[in-house]
Amino acid sequence: KAGVTQTPRYLIKTRGQQVTLSCSPISGHRSVSWYQQTPGQGLQFLFEYFSETQRNKGNFPGRFSGRQFSNSRSEMNVSTLELGDSALYLCASSFSSGANVLTFGAGSRLTVL
Amino acid sequence: DAKTTQPPSMDCAEGRAANLPCNHSTISGNEYVYWYRQIHSQGPQYIIHGLKNNETNEMASLIITEDRKSSTLILPHATLRDTAVYYCIVRLLQGGSEKLVFGKGTKLTVNP
């Protein structure tokens, strides 16, 4: 079966712009979690969506937002980009909320210039 | 935050067993031990999990000490493709509102 698909894989933006990243979970999975990975901070949890509702949120500013659609696909948006937002953004899906066995996508690598 | 302690790095010869330790001295009775790995620039990959009995699957074996304060992930015949960062995570079976936290992990390098 198809895995978790993230688009785009790579993108370059400039400071002040905004970006939207997309994640299509495994068919039948209703939970989508987002993580940010940087060399300095490692993997940090952003938020989790289940059945179109945000179930959990990490310690990120309000510039980071997300949503989930009725087909479980999810998007995350970062507004007013800063240089420090350069990172690998990973999406993971699971059947239920709060699951421990997650299937991750390959990630979207964002570079902010 | 992470409840586990792992060595920052380890080396292993190709074809030999790789034994990756993890200390979780504050683990509670209903918390499980999960292992993930992350190959460079890819998303983490689930490997295995267990409560107290030793577990084995097609990827690895998980040995948990009787007091459950530590565990070892064993890759029986390491290959170059096993070079990755390995994360040990302790969590309730159903995390509920608790997020899955990845620590620093162990960087395993498999050498030819």
Quick one: pLDDT at residue A49? 94
Per-residue model confidence as pLDDT tens digits over A96-113: 887 788 999 999 999 999
From the list A97, A101, A105, which residue is nearest B46 (CB)?
A: A101
Asked if the model's pLDDT at residue A89 lies above 70, the reply is yes
Nearest to B20 by CA among B67, B79, B69, B60: B60
CA-derived radius of gyration, chain B: 13
Q: What is the arithmetic mean of pLDDT over A40-57?
A: 91
Contact residues, chain A to chain B, C-beta under 8 Å: 4, 33, 35, 42-43, 45, 48, 55-56, 58, 88, 90-92, 96-107, 109
Asked if the model's pLDDT at residue B11 lies above 90, the reply is yes
Contact (CB<8Å) B97/A98 = yes
Q: Comparing B110 with B53, which gets the higher pLDDT?
A: B110
Q: Assign residue A107 a region: left if phi > 0, alpha if psi is -120 to 50, beta otherwise?
A: left
Burial class (CB in 10 A: 0-12, 13-18, 19+), B45: middle
Contact (CB<8Å) B97/A101 = no
Asked if the model's pLDDT at residue B2 lies above 60, the reply is no
Sign of CA dihedral A4, A39, B107, B94: negative
Nearest CA in chain A to B44: A104
Per-residue model confidence as pLDDT tens digits over B44-99: 999 999 999 899 999 999 999 999 999 999 999 999 999 999 999 988 766 555 67
* Residue B24: C-alpha distances to residues A101, B8, B32, B40, B77 (Å): 19, 15, 10, 26, 25
Quick one: pLDDT at residue B91? 82
Quick one: pLDDT at residue B98? 63
